[in-house]
Structure 1
Amino acid sequence: MDKPVEATLITDFDVHLFKEGKHFHLYKKFGSHLMEYMGTKGVYFSVWAPNAQMVSVVGDFNNWNRETHKMKSRWDHSGIWEVFIPEAKKGSLYKYFIRSNSDYEAEKGDPFAFSWETPPDTASMVWDLENTWNDTIWMEDRKKKAKEAQPYSVYEIHLGSWKRVPDDGFRSLSYRELAEDLPAYLKEMGFTHVEFMPVMEHPFFGSWGYQITGYFAPSSRFGTPQDFMYLIDKLHQAGIGVILDWVPSHFPSDLHGIHYFDGTYLYEHADPKKGFHPDWQSYIFNYGRNEVRAFLISNALFWLDMFHADGLRVDAVASMLYLDYSRNEGEWEPNEFGGRENLEAISFLKEFNETVYKEFPDVVTIAEESTAWPMVSKPTYVGGLGFGMKWMMGWMHDTLEYFSKDPIHRRHHQNTITFSSNYAFSENFMLPLSHDEVVYGKGSILNKMPGDEWNKFANLRTLYAYMYAHPGTKLLFMGSEFGQPSEWNHDSSLEWHLTNEPLHKKVQAALKELNRLYKSEPALYEKSFSNEGFEWVDFNDDENSIISFLRKGKDPKENLMVVCNFTPVPRENYRIGVSEEGQWKEIFNSDSEEFGGSNVKNSDLIESQNIPGHHRDHSLLLTLPPMAVIFLKRL
């Protein structure tokens, strides 16, 4: 039995917690850490490889020699290997050479590395996370607002293709270059948050970050960890929250990654029925293994702790919940109760959410979950999964299907656009028009709209206005805000030149105004997750493809009336029932000339009439603009 390494960061209690699956700050202990031991500066390395026969650190400090810096296995049978190397320093490249008990050999990257070589190179890099933050005001404000209802208008972005540098081979912007442009743009457009598609290190750029090898490192394609911190800091200083896309559902088979790490299926299930993902040809974490749960939950906390992230959007939750996800008969085995639910993954997701909200009660977790799994965004103590929000995939599918139809046929599909109200408050929903809707031949959001150019843009403005009026928080993928006509291509920049074209510039102006209203009108967000915040006025006018409803906040005086005309036919003298007499004002009209519309409007003040309508004692006589949404507010 080997003696403990003298220079160590790992205590017996750390080992105990790790083996119990309850150590959620492993990034402070595992991996490579700059330290001084007995007056000598160097790097302490530690790695979990319980089925290894021999482990050594190979790197540019020892000419990648497998014999020079052999690690010691801890005396406690934890499977943890350690070594202190004076020759290593910040910036040193390294891997772990692992020989398993079955004589399998491989050079592996460090699962806990804070930095990696820029792909296609695959070595880990010794780094630190020292940083001086300047976002104190944001972080304190975040705590104060944690219990309040807040607007979430999220701009989803792929770092590598938002903007590129034409004078430098069309390369992607660096983190620091993004920090010069992105915060100002988001502030100008009125978004409250940005959501980054996965920034964690990944070998294949075309995976968009969803095939991760370096879970604890922002991709070095765009700069250092401190550069990424700088970007987040600048966003916070501009009043913009940061949500990170997080992928605990699967990981790739690259040799330098965590697959078959110590010559065994260590991080993944050994059984391919549980451990291999047929859709993505990748491997699934073993959620029933304590050390793996600790690894993943530590990773979630790492980004909230060290990078000040304000939330995590959890990718592909549905694939985690079901044992038969994308599997045919005979390709999966039921759980101990005979069901298709992945009990280990369910338990993991609950613990993940409980731990995140315990340590960071002022952040948000968001589930991308595409099925009718109950109570995804309900607390675990009532049987829920514990997420803060859930993507409303049903709303997205129905809405895009409805808007893709020629308006002349929409009267036959009224239920498609109204159905979401039947379940809108069963979860804390976020309405997503994400990257998934503008790839793989699906076309851009603009080009899903029917008709000629004018009608496409009119439909697009109507879609966005309806989206912002609908209960739930909002998410829009980059480029959609100015009606980019082509599909998203991760290898090129957004088509920013189009923002100089009138119709594109004006739909961008409409989106900007919708963000302003969303943040300034409490009725649009205060009761977004409660049926108390929504009331139908009329959903039965399928003949004219018109719907109308109220959005309600805490103060009834702040209520808004929303009327949607889903055809390009203006409607004169259209009567809408209201409960109280008084004057109303049109505060938004997606058909306004400034947004590229035909400028059909109501008078500045609309007086109610003592004529009943829609089971209410009074009514308004309105002019409904063609293919448009109007917001009305009582004075």
Structure 2
Amino acid sequence: MKDWKILEIDPWIKDYKSDIDLRMEEFKKQKSKLLKKGEKLKDFANAHNYYGIHKTRTGWVYREWAPNAKGLYLIGDFNNWDRHSHPLEKINNEDWEINIKGIRTIPHKSRIKVMIDYGDRTQDRIPLYARRVERDENLDFSAVVLNPRKKFEWTDEKFKTKKDNLLIYETHIGMAQEKEGIGTYKEFEKNILPRIKDEGYNTVQFMAIAEHPYYGSFGYQVSNFFSPSSWYGENDELKSLINKAHEMGLNVIMDLVHSHAVKNTNEGINEFDGTDYQFFHKGEEGNHPDWDSKLFDYAKPGVCHFLLSNIKYWLEEYHFDGFRFDGVTSMIYKNHGRGVSFDNYSKYFSMNTDIEAINYLQMANELIREIKKDAITIAEDMSAMPGMCLPIKYGGIGFDYRLSMGMPDFWEKTLSIRDEDWDMGKMWYELSTYRPEEKRIAYVESHDQALVGSKTTIFRLADSAMYWEMEKDKHSIVIDRAIALHKMIRWITISMGADAYLNFMGNEFGHPEWIDFPREGNNYSYHYARRLWSLADNGLLKYEWLLNWDKRMLENIKDNNQLGNDIFRLWLDNDRKVIAYRNNDLVYIFNFHPQNSYDSFQVPIHDKGEFKVVLDTDDIEFGGLGRISKDYVYESKNLEHTDYDGIEIYLPSRTALALKKVK
């Protein structure tokens, strides 16, 4: 077997070479099962162009994949929902088809379903490849046939995806508006895109794009994989939004849910042909024990055809620039990673590994590169599977980035203990450690921490004081601490060797309200399912300080090329709660001590020259006390009782600063 480069990059894997060999051997077998000789994955992933309803020269053709069904009938307002007038014919062992004469027979925006005969019963279902699904006043979903007179015209042909130095703004279209209600694609394009651009982010990551019947699922219970969610408006309005983002120079990433599917049969794909195993594992293996959803069987050619075609569809039809793959940990382990501490390599390579799922992710990454060379792929994997972000030809899985899911967990745990007990060594380890040649996306808090039942970083820091003490002219010890640490936590997270950075909308300015989608328990209110941008914009509240900080922090990161670098630790003092390090041309010094300021703190820099502070969290513009001079020149010298050069500097408590060599 081949000596895969992953074994050279990460020597710890050498004991598990047989597992890598098996992974790659099965990958080759699965591709040969799916592809004809000379074919690429992009030639295979065209199910959406064959199945579903399509206009022909003389009318319409509708095809469906339903191997075990006894009969299929196309029904809709075009035939007054006649349940037997338009039967499909079974054309092979798996597929059904009907040809309908006359383009005008099915007008634009006609609502349709397919009645499926299961032998002992019938059920009206949404076509598997429906490209538009809408609900009526009774929340009954139907597919909608699209045949507009004018097709959407893209104007983004000059846009080039920027794959490196990602500053990602994660967002949910429906709750991005300040109104109490569901935001729209149009409103987002007009009101939120300019905001994202102005704040300094270069990539938008959209949650909840594929259709989902329950709005409060955050989009993670997908029912219709080829249908953009109608909760927010028309399909072409999503295209317009992406087109506009590209005009503004923003990448657009889709949160892709191929890890599971909603179990609903009325709206979703579950039991479409009458079996529980058409798409999913049979029996209990096909049910996720925590998510109450269905789990795909990635070994099946029909499932791969469906999901890989779905990837191609979103890339080509909607011009997405890549995907954040949801639930990767759940996919790649047979126990879904539940309750496992991945503290040694044996946990990754064993009978617990779901090789079929790994092979699917490899194919997905290969397909994406075939279609769009510069597309971005991100794995949501909390296990840190070795090779997740290495090229497939190295023996890896092929992602560009992995979300550093340990970082939000670390900050959540840290904020639960006294400031005096924060461990600088653990902080350094959690923020700076990564697998060889793996690109990490750093982030402080996940969107889950903004939901009811959890707490955002600002709420853990300030709690109820957020409601009463955020006016700029009101002094509060609690809020002073919260604002100081909020800035420091975000800055150290993004600057300590991250390859990319992610923020969930509103968290940059410490949005005070949790997210609570409309449900029975809150009288179906949208009061907490929105973002209060005015808090940061009205000029009266301290949220503006945090927003100002976020803008300047990102500006500093970009201007000084701070992403994707190796960092050099200069000093770590757990007793005095000080961390100092160098990233490219900047020297960072963080004093996390809650009380102690240091008049003449000696920091080794190992460099001769003159240095000036270019940014600090104590600036008055960001709600600080203005104790750090931007004009003073720090000249490095041999530090007393040492053999290295450094500077002496005033370090106020709960303050961070960055210095740059000026001479």
TM-score by length of 2: 0.83
In the alignment, is the contact (CA less than 8 A) between 2:178 and 2:532 conserved in 1? no
Unaligned 5+ residue runs, structure 2? 1-33, 341-348, 463-476, 518-525
Alignment partner of 1:81 is 2:119: no
Map 1:382-421 → 2, pairs under 5 A: 382-410=394-422, 413-420=423-430
In the alignment, is the contact (CA less than 8 A) between 1:609 and 1:618 conserved in 2? yes
Which of the residues 554, 557, 579 maps onto 1:547? 579
Match of 1:124 in 2: 143
Alignment partner of 1:561 is 2:587: yes
Map 1:115-264 → 2, pairs under 5 A: 115-118=132-135, 120-127=139-146, 130-138=151-159, 141-142=160-161, 150-165=164-179, 170-256=180-266, 257-264=268-275
Q: Which residue type is aligned with residue 356 of structure 1?
A: I
Q: Deviations over 1:299-358 (max 9, x none)?
A: 1121111111112001111111111127799xxxxxxx9711111111111111111122
Match of 1:114 in 2: 131
Alignment partner of 1:622 is 2:636: no
Match of 1:290 in 2: 301
Q: Deviations over 1:210-266 (max 9, x none)?
A: 111111111112111100001111111112211110100111121231000111134
Alignment partner of 1:515 is 2:593: no
In the alignment, is the contact (CA less than 8 A) between 1:21 and 1:292 conserved in 2? no
In the alignment, is the contact (CA less than 8 A) between 2:177 and 2:187 conserved in 1? no
CA distance in 2, matches of 1:321, 1:579: 45
Alignment partner of 1:468 is 2:494: yes
Q: Deviations over 1:565-622 (max 9, x none)?
A: 1123322211111222111121110111000011121352433232148976311111
Change (3 A) 1:271 1:381: same
Change (3 A) 1:509 1:206: same
Alignment partner of 1:67 is 2:76: no
Q: Which moved more, 1:298-307 or 1:503-512?
A: 298-307
Change (3 A) 1:549 1:82: farther
Q: Which residue type is aligned with residue 419 of structure 1?
A: Y
Map 1:271-290 → 2, pairs under 5 A: 271-290=282-301
Which of the residues 422, 439, 442 maps onto 2:451? 439
Match of 2:532 in 1: 495
In the alignment, is the contact (CA less than 8 A) between 2:329 and 2:337 conserved in 1? no
CA distance in 1, matches of 2:181, 2:387: 43
Match of 1:380 in 2: 392
CA distance in 2, matches of 1:633, 1:323: 50
Q: Which residue type is aligned with residue 201 of structure 1?
A: E
Match of 2:481 in 1: 455
Q: Deviations over 1:267-326 (max 9, x none)?
A: 433423431111111101110101111111111121111111112001111111111127
Change (3 A) 1:628 1:272: farther
Match of 1:8 in 2: none
CA distance in 2, matches of 1:603, 1:282: 55
CA distance in 2, matches of 1:484, 1:21: 42
Change (3 A) 1:246 1:297: same
Q: Which residue type is aligned with residue 637 of structure 2?
A: N
In the alignment, is the contact (CA less than 8 A) between 2:42 and 2:367 conserved in 1? no
Superposition deviation, residue 385 in structure 1: 1.3
Superposition deviation, residue 628 in structure 1: 2.0
Q: Which runs of 4+ in 1 moved over 6 A?
A: 14-18, 326-329, 613-616
Q: Deviations over 1:98-150 (max 9, x none)?
A: 113x4342211012111111362211111259321122232xx33xx55xxx2
Change (3 A) 1:613 1:121: farther
Change (3 A) 1:521 1:422: closer
Map 1:578-597 → 2, pairs under 5 A: 578-597=605-624
Change (3 A) 1:55 1:284: same
Match of 2:17 in 1: none
Q: Which residue type is aligned with residue 170 of structure 2?
A: E
CA distance in 2, matches of 1:195, 1:561: 31
1:452 alignment partner, SS class: helix
Q: Which residue type is aligned with residue 382 of structure 2?
A: S
In the alignment, is the contact (CA less than 8 A) between 2:321 and 2:375 conserved in 1? yes
Match of 1:5 in 2: none
Q: Which residue type is aligned with residue 455 of structure 2?
A: G
1:136 alignment partner, SS class: coil
CA distance in 2, matches of 1:321, 1:371: 10
Q: Deviations over 1:192-227 (max 9, x none)?
A: 111111211110001011111111111112111100
Superposition deviation, residue 543 in structure 1: 0.6
In the alignment, is the contact (CA less than 8 A) between 1:190 and 1:516 conserved in 2? yes
CA distance in 2, matches of 1:174, 1:589: 38
CA distance in 1, matches of 2:630, 2:223: 59
CA distance in 1, matches of 2:120, 2:188: 46
Change (3 A) 1:271 1:338: farther
In the alignment, is the contact (CA less than 8 A) between 1:611 and 1:618 conserved in 2? yes
After superposition, the CA RMSD in angstroms is 2.4
CA distance in 1, matches of 2:313, 2:323: 11
Superposition deviation, residue 415 in structure 1: 2.5
Change (3 A) 1:270 1:594: closer
Alignment partner of 1:604 is 2:631: yes
CA distance in 2, matches of 1:496, 1:549: 35
TM-score by length of 1: 0.87
Change (3 A) 1:292 1:104: farther
Match of 1:325 in 2: 336
Superposition deviation, residue 414 in structure 1: 2.2
Match of 2:18 in 1: none
In the alignment, is the contact (CA less than 8 A) between 1:105 and 1:263 conserved in 2? no
Alignment partner of 1:537 is 2:570: yes
Superposition deviation, residue 421 in structure 1: 5.3
User: Aligned pair count?
Assistant: 582
Change (3 A) 1:420 1:121: same
User: Sequence identity of aligned pairs in percent?
Assistant: 26
Unaligned 5+ residue runs, structure 1? 1-13, 330-336, 553-558
Q: Which moved more, 1:319-328 or 1:308-317?
A: 319-328
In the alignment, is the contact (CA less than 8 A) between 1:91 and 1:127 conserved in 2? yes
Superposition deviation, residue 376 in structure 1: 1.1
Change (3 A) 1:78 1:603: closer
In the alignment, is the contact (CA less than 8 A) between 1:32 and 1:46 conserved in 2? yes
